[in-house]
A = this chain, B = another copy of it.
Amino acid sequence: MPDLYDVAAIGNAIVDVISPADDAFIDAQGLAKGGMTLVDAQRSSALYAEMAPGVETSGGSAANTVAGVASFGGAAVFLGKVANDQLGAVFTHDMRAIGARFDNLPLQIGPATAACMINVTPDGQRTMCTYLGASTHFAEDDVDDTVIEAAKIVYLEGYLFDAEPARRAFAKAAGLARASGRMLALTLSDGFVVERHRQALLGFIDSQVDLLFANEVEATALFQTDSFEAAAEALRGRVKLAAVTRGEKGSVILSQGERLQVAPERVEKVVDTTGAGDQYAAGFMFGLSRGRPLQACGRLASLAAAEVISHYGPRPQVQLKDLAAAKGF
């Protein structure tokens, strides 16, 4: 197959509801600040009823990354499942409007489009509660073989390890990617996801993954250590390439031959950290797909992450292509 896409990504198709909140609210609701909690429809409604007025905007980790790649001018495809409802239409519109491809048919009968309630505290931290709804119905048949075979990088979202049919879809996508010599990338997504599925994730990493994205919490959770250095060394022995983000400390790129430190891009004020990791992955993979050296990939990644944390919402509000050009890329 020819190289039709820079990135093809599989993830939960989610619409975000973003509201401001204070720390007392996070405590009162019994939420783990900075983390992602899965909730059922009933708990979702109860939480929403207590939240401040919000804005709705398309989200979903891998979907945000696809939007970022498209914003850099890359060719990107998203694979995921919405329902045939208003929020599903919003998600679909936003994906296509940013220039990405998204062709999976909406679920006709069953739960609503997934929603993620994001409470943003004054320090810019986001605490998420996700109702997975229709997104858990993503299954093997939704993985389009011809798309996977034509993508330079196939990117998978660790969150999908929570849903059994999606894990089968992952296995299929990984098999197809391997068979056609494509690069397989995975993000660990969340510390609690790593705790829930540690063994399965390690097995998948060992057998299939070429490129791993993680933040510091996820990387240390994966190897059950408190030491970032120990986690970094373990990662280096395990995957060909890994990028570990460390918030304001920047990020570290680990490959079997080298270890690169990437400085963070300066941000005037951190408004909302939602999407920081997603946009980091977008910049990194766009650079990699276009044959840039690893240091440049890290800088494009940091640039995209800095843009997204300087405003509310998980997707770029400017053309990342223009931003990169302004920075000399």
Contacts and interface: CB of A to CB of B under 8 A. Distances in A.
Interface string A54-88: 11111000000001000000000000000001110
Interface stretch (A90-98, A190-198, A204-212, A251-259): A90-98
A1 interface: no
A265 to B, nearest CB: 22
A17 B112 CA distance: 20
A48 to B, nearest CB: 6
The interface residues of chain A, by DSSP majority, are classed as: mixed
Most interface-central of A48, A52, A53, A85 (chain B CB within 10 A) = A53
Given A56-B55, A56-B57, A87-B86, A93 B49 contact: yes
Nearest to A115: B86
Nearest to A96: B49
A58 B48 CA distance: 15
Nearest to A57: B55
A315 interface: yes
A10 to B, nearest CB: 20
Contacts of A52: 97-98
Interface in A9-58: 17, 19, 48-49, 51-58
Interface core residue of A54, A58, A86 (most chain B CB under 10 Å): A86
A112 B67 CA distance: 28
A277 interface: no
A57 B15 CA distance: 13
Given A86-B85, A86-B86, A87-B86, A97 B51 contact: yes
Contacts of A17: 90
Interface in A141-200: none
A313 interface: yes
A113 B89 CA distance: 14
A90 B97 CA distance: 23
Contacts of A51: 93, 97
A64 B93 CA distance: 26
Nearest to A70: B53
A98 B19 CA distance: 12
A315 B53 CA distance: 10
4 tightest A-B contacts by CB? A56-B56, A53-B94, A86-B86, A55-B57
Interface of A: 17, 19, 48-49, 51-58, 67, 85-87, 90, 93-94, 97-98, 112-113, 313, 315
29 contacts: A17-B90, A19-B97, A48-B93, A49-B93, A51-B93, A51-B97, A52-B97, A52-B98, A53-B67, A53-B93, A53-B94, A53-B98, A53-B315, A54-B57, A54-B90, A54-B93, A54-B94, A54-B97, A55-B55, A55-B56, A55-B57, A55-B313, A56-B56, A56-B90, A85-B85, A86-B86, A86-B87, A86-B112, A86-B113
